[in-house]
Structure 1
Amino acid sequence: MKAKMHELAARFAAQVGNYRAVLEQAMNANDLGEVQALAHKLAGIAPMFGYENVGNAALDLEDAVSAGENHSAAAQQLDFLLASIEA
């Protein structure tokens, strides 16, 4: 079981570049539905692989979009944390 979780965590980390690209494209297109969908996905899966900070940032972004608030800072924070995984 532990080996399987390690494999899934490695797969998650390998997908970080794709998540960042989707976030950037959605933010540039002001596609709030896509921003919210990605944030929701990351809020759910990132903590399972030990990235609680990414999950919290994604939840903050999802909440900001849902509330109709300025979500740029939350998106930047999420991107920063994703970039730290990618590095």
Structure 2
Amino acid sequence: MTQLAARFAASAGEYRRAVAQAVADADRPAIVLHAHRLAGIAPMLGHPAIGDAAARLEESAEAGDYAADAAMLDLLLARLDG
């Protein structure tokens, strides 16, 4: 599990870029997809705050008003990305 958690942390920048690109493109289905993936995997690998933020982003992207939730998820991933 430690190796998986380390790989997840090392991939934080990739997740950030993918979500940021989807937000920049206003591609709500892509935002929902990336957020859903993060909401599922992050808590299992010791990052419940990222999972919670991703779940909020998934919900808000489906509703259409997602800027604040995207910014929060980006901040949390940035901390992990270091």
Under TM normalisation by the shorter chain, which class is it?
over 0.9
The one of the two structures with greater contact order (alpha-carbon pairs below 8 A, sep at least 6) is 2
Partner of 1:85: 80
Name the TM-score, length of structure 1 as normaliser: 0.91
Partner of 1:76: 71
Distance in structure 1 (CA, Å) of the matches to 2:68 and 2:63: 14
Distance in structure 2 (CA, Å) of the matches to 1:80 and 1:7: 23
Indicate the structure (1 or 2) with the bigger Cα radius of gyration.
1
Distance in structure 2 (CA, Å) of the matches to 1:32 and 1:58: 13
Q: Report how far residue 67 of structure 1 moved.
A: 2.3
Q: Deviations over 1:42-87 (max 9, x none)?
A: 000000011000000000000111223x100000000000001011
Is there any run of 5+ residues in structure 2 with no aligned partner, and where? Answer: none
Q: Does 1:38 align with 2:34?
A: yes
Q: 1:49 is matched with which residue: 45, 48, 59?
A: 45
Is there any run of 5+ residues in structure 1 with no aligned partner, and where? Answer: none
Residue type at the aligned position of 1:23: V
Moved beyond 6 Å, runs of 4+: none
Aligned residues between the structures: 82
Percent of paired sites with the same residue: 46
Name the TM-score, length of structure 2 as normaliser: 0.97
